[in-house]
Amino acid sequence: MMIAGLYGCAALRFVRTFRVFRADYLVRGKHSSCDVAIVGGGIVGLASARELIRRHPKLSYILLEKEKELAFHQSGHNSGVIHSGIYYTPGSLKAKLCVRGAELSYAYCEEKGIPYKRCGKLIVAVEREEISRLKALYKRGLQNNVRDLKLIDAKEIQEREPYCKGLLALDSPNTGIVDWREVALSYGKDFCEMGGTVKREFEVTDFQLTKESPESSTDGLKYPITIKSSKEPAIHCSYVVTCGGLYSDRLSQKSGCRDEPRIVPFRGDYLVLKPEKHYLVKGNIYPNTSIVAKCQKKLGIPILPQTQPLSLLQETCWFQIQNFLSLVCTLHPEWMVVSGSDQMQFWHLNGKVTMFLILTHLIFQMP
């Protein structure tokens, strides 16, 4: 049985050093076999491996990762937010998992001593036309059983975030931030301590059903699935779970599934506030704008602190509209530290680039 897991993506580069554990590698040999193979060493693959070995400890497991490090891609490059579950459709699985997942995430971080901050989040309406949408979002959050939600007025906004201005805000105190790569690595450590094996630098090139026993094998058809790699000996197993992140669609096709759905990447770039501007942000601050409807007019900016003493502002958002990418700039460049370059670079798609320079819809008061 082959299970293909699809996982969404976001992009954020954390500048810090992570704790890396040493896992026992699978012994190299002509043929290696196990009961369950998990393909993908991101947070979904590691969490899946950890849960499988917890529930079925008598089986043998191996996790295969094509990179030299675990959680190397989107699991270590994201906003770092522990979402409370406000946005999803009431009664949906997404809503239930997000609310319950936040509780479990905080509990796990406490158990493992992983740093996190329950800093809360403000979703801010800066125009009157946004207030009805904000109230609808508040109602949705209540239906999803999000804890401690409340609406706060302009004065309370200023008390919470002195440099944030708005007419009304939805206050979500249960929203937090954490280094998800550190969480993912902790999942991997748990997996190895429970007897699982991690094999890095194993890039899967194909899945095949074994028609007959490999030479000198006494396992018969106990391990009928062959996982091939261009550089490593094949792995034989009974079950495969693929959790390939941005490569999930490709792994799905290799495992015999259809070529739909496909992963469509969505790019976001983040810049770090200069140290002298850290005082501008205390917690997560989100706009209440409709992104698609306002991308050519006005766009607010999500503000996201880190578990480290840094604050992040999202400087650019990419939108795929009418076959070209529009770069939307929303920040004062003098506030920013630009890594590796003093100038903004623009990328071309089919020879077309459009830039909208928007500095009128900031939710910050100019200091």
The residues, any chain, with a CB within 8 Å of residue 93's CB and separated by 6 or more, are none
Does some domain include residue 363? Answer: no
Does some domain include residue 152? Answer: yes
The residues, any chain, with a CB within 8 Å of residue 83's CB and separated by 6 or more, are 98, 102, 175
Does some domain include residue 283? Answer: yes
Does some domain include residue 259? Answer: no
Shared domain for 15 and 158, answered yes or no, is no
Shared domain for 33 and 60, answered yes or no, is yes
Does some domain include residue 366? Answer: no
Whether 2 and 242 have beta carbons less than 8 Å apart is answered as: yes
Which of 204, 229, 254 terminates a domain? The answer is 254
Shared domain for 168 and 203, answered yes or no, is no
| SS3 of the chain: helix, strand, coil, percent, to 5 | 25, 25, 45
pTM of the entire structure? 0.75
Whether 151 and 138 have beta carbons less than 8 Å apart is answered as: yes
Q: CATH number of the domain at 220, please.
A: 3.50.50.60
Does some domain include residue 364? Answer: no
Neighbours of 248 (CB within 10 A): 23
Can you tell me the distance from the alpha carbon of 283 to that of 170, in angstroms, rounded to the nearest whole number?
13
Shared domain for 276 and 250, answered yes or no, is no
Q: CATH number of the domain at 291, please.
A: 3.30.9.10
Which of 189, 220, 254 terminates a domain? The answer is 254
Shared domain for 10 and 38, answered yes or no, is yes
Does some domain include residue 171? Answer: yes
User: Computed from CA positions of residues 12, 13, 15, 16, in that sequence, does the dihedral angle turn out positive or negative?
Assistant: positive
Between the two ends of the chain, the Cα-to-Cα distance in Å is 59
Which of 254, 279, 306 terminates a domain? The answer is 254
Query: Given this model, what pLDDT does residue 214 score?
Result: 56
Question: How many domains would you assign to the chain?
Answer: 2
Query: Given this model, what pLDDT does residue 117 score?
Result: 93
Written as tens digits, the pLDDT of the chain (367 aa) is 333 332 222 222 222 223 334 434 333 334 489 999 999 999 999 999 999 999 999 999 999 999 999 999 989 888 899 999 999 999 999 999 999 999 999 999 999 999 999 999 999 999 899 999 999 999 999 999 999 999 999 999 999 999 888 999 999 999 999 999 999 999 999 999 999 999 999 999 999 987 765 566 655 578 999 999 999 999 999 999 999 998 999 999 998 888 888 888 776 666 677 778 888 888 898 988 654 444 434 445 566 665 544 344 433 333 322 222 222 233 334 443 333 332 333 333 333 322 222 222 233 333 3
Whether 5 and 242 have beta carbons less than 8 Å apart is answered as: yes
Shared domain for 271 and 346, answered yes or no, is yes
Tokens of 129: 């036309």
Domain that holds residue 165: 81-178+267-357
Can you tell me the distance from the alpha carbon of 249 to that of 262, in angstroms, rounded to the nearest whole number?
5
Whether 99 and 91 have beta carbons less than 8 Å apart is answered as: no
Shared domain for 88 and 167, answered yes or no, is yes
Does some domain include residue 362? Answer: no
Query: Given this model, what pLDDT does residue 322 score?
Result: 25
Shared domain for 248 and 302, answered yes or no, is no
Place of tokens 């993912």: 184
Query: Given this model, what pLDDT does residue 217 score?
Result: 60
Shared domain for 87 and 171, answered yes or no, is yes
Shared domain for 351 and 271, answered yes or no, is yes
Shared domain for 66 and 185, answered yes or no, is yes
- Per-residue DSSP letters for 75-134? GGSS--EE--S-SSPTTSHHHHHHHHHHHHHHHHHHHHT--EE---EEEEE-SGGGHHHH
Query: Given this model, what pLDDT does residue 32 score?
Result: 84
Shared domain for 111 and 147, answered yes or no, is yes
